[in-house]
Amino acid sequence: MRAETEQLTGVDVAPAAKYTAEGKARAPTKRQTRSELEGFARSEIEPGLAAAAVTDAADRREIVDELIRIIQGIYVHLPLKQAMYGIDPVQQLLRLKERAASDELTHARFHAEIGRILGELRDAHTNYIGPMAIEGWVARLPFLIEQFGPETAPRFLVSKTIPSLIAEVEGIDEDAAEDEMIFKPGVEVVTWNGAPIADAVRAYGDVVRGGRSDSAMARAVDSMTFRPLGYLPIPIEHWVVVGYRTSRGVDHEIKLDWRFIRPGEGPTPVRPTEAVASAEAVHPDRSLIRRAKKLSFNAELWRQESVDRASGRVLPASRADVPVGEWITGRFQDNVSAKIEEVAGRQVGYLRLWSFSLTDDDGFVSEIVELLRLLPQDGLIVDLRGNPGGLIWAAERTLQLFTPRRVEPTRFSLLATDLTRSIADAPQNRRMLSPWRRSLFDALGTGELYSQGIPITPVERCNDRGQVYGGTVIAVVDATTYSAGDLFAAGFADNNIGTIVSVGRATGAGGANVWRSDVLRSILAGTDHSLGTLPGGVGFTMSVRRATRVGSSEGAPIEDLGIAGHRPYAMTERDLLEGNIDLLTMCARLIEAEPSTAMEVSADGLRIKVTSDRLDRIDVFVDDRPFTSANTHGDVAFQLLRMPESVRIDGYRGDLLEQSRRLVDHAGELVAP
């Protein structure tokens, strides 16, 4: 990708992940990081963008034909989108094909038209990646805008800036303290290129679209100053004039140029031939925006991420070694971090699930287990705001850590067509798609639109570790919690794990497993429906297996609906400037109001000790067989007769299962799995 990018742009770009001659991860130097942070001017990359857009009539027809074939044959939401929005993307593409040779249809306009047609689906999983924009690049302004207040009267605040770039525009020394600047965190944005900011955001929301008006608004705010060029065209304006108001009520304007950065894919990018590539549920452009924000506002962490993943950052030894309010990160610092927060007169654990974009779900779940053991055990906030998704296995396997009950994962189904049957029948896909194969072929006789709904994450893997955290758990989501983030929220609600606080109406409503065109090319290889490399290096992402809920919401789709919270919440100005203080206070009060229990299990050889609080009964199972049961109001101990393969201890308050812990035999010792 680096060579292709340099060929297109003529710009020499330092990649985010560097390696030594021995293949060991090495962080980019501070000088390289600063260069990445500053980015490139429009004049440096625009010639390559223009050259990349060139396609002839034959190329255009081939691109359109392939998209029509894939949409009809595999796009799982096609019936839903046609019914909800009264659109026909196939007919629109056919009409575009008729105009393929028209001189009036410029190269850039052709690609923009395809992007517009797919955009009308209001499905952030399904995108056209045109050559008019280089994938992996982001057009960026040097500040972050965030929304607060009610949806009916939104206001917008600058929450972060890149001081060195702002200082350059304001004509002051770049080493000057941030409080010497006028345009800085805390100023309120009032206009955007002369238009009222709320109107400008809503207008941009019509471009990025969303299944609901609030999700369209959230997407627009999220990418207002960060435009992913792999999925959106280059901004038509060369600069933006931002009108803002200081805390003293004084109005100013600042003119800021778009600059272009390449934040990289993350420490472990997914390759199209890997098994994890077919188990993704990710908002691809949102994922790139998140990476760009990390580079822009936490460049040192971005610089170190590959080294942290490869070598392993050591976590503190115990909870006593964790300072209140300081982040704890490990190997998976790009995906998860934690800290102890003191709020509303108590300490609570705070687990931030930034992203599920990774390849090692075992390592990810293990790191979360270690982080949870460093946090207060009587109350936890799990924050998924802005999580763009990623590996479905990682999202759904994490749920078991917070509940004593068996987790039921989300169900997924395919559109029943000749193309999906061909995919399921291909030898290389038998292991991946064998559970869906029979119902896809049965649909030939029954006329069913979809295959049977089956989990992508096996039920056994969703329950292979068991509960680790026994305190009250509150999940926080917003309209940019998407894809695998939606799936986590669905599982959290449908398995009755705890209360969901929703900033806005619901999660982002991305209800599908998504495949990139290069993944689909590998999956279709050797079938009668093979997909070649598309002209000009264009590509797409496509929703291929739709997600439906379980439990009391059995069969309900996630697409376009999302997961509504039990408690709605509107961000405040203090939240944006003081570390989510009002949001955390609300969550801490919800934790305080929840009746909670506690249980700790330890083993010394064959002797097991159980310490509990507010539990009435302990049931013990050895190798899945009942072993003993005892009433308890504190400590209980029991002796095993032999070393078992596994021990499970369940704790009840009345008739309600409240706690469960497992121990497994590891080299002659009983330890947590």
The ranges of the chain with pLDDT < 50 are 1-23
Amino acid at 353: L
**CB-based contact 281:510 (threshold 8 Å):** yes
pLDDT at residue number 322: 94
Residue 456 half-sphere exposure toward CB, CA atoms < 13 A: 29
How many C-beta atoms surround the C-beta of residue 360 within 10 A? 17
Please say whether the beta carbons of 180 and 172 come within 8 A: yes
Domain boundaries, the chain: 138-260, 598-671
* Degrees, nearest 5: CA angle 548-283-328: 100
CB 376 within 8 A of CB 365: no
Confirm if 25 and 310 have CB atoms less than 8 A apart: yes
Return the pLDDT at 481. 97
Residues 6+ apart with CB under 8 A from 579: none
Per-residue pLDDT, 7: 35
pTM of this prediction exceeds 0.75: yes
In CATH, the architecture of 598-671 is Sandwich (2.60)
Q: Which are the contacts of 609, defined by CB distance < 8 A and separation ≥ 6?
A: 601, 602, 603, 635, 636, 637
CB 515 within 8 A of CB 539: no
Query: And the tokens for 147?
Result: 């929304």
Q: How many CA atoms does the CB half-sphere of 651 hold within 13 Å?
A: 26
One-letter amino acid of 408 = E
Q: Is 398 exposed, middle or buried (0-12, 13-18, 19+ CB in 10 A)?
A: buried
**Structure tokens belonging to residue 145:** 């805008």
Cα–Cα nearest to 355, from 473, 272, 266, 463: 266
Q: What is the pLDDT of residue 52?
A: 66
Domain 138-260 fold? Pdz3 Domain (2.30.42)
* Helix 418-425 × helix 430-446 angle, to 10°: 140
Cβ 108 vs Cβ 114: under 8 Å: no
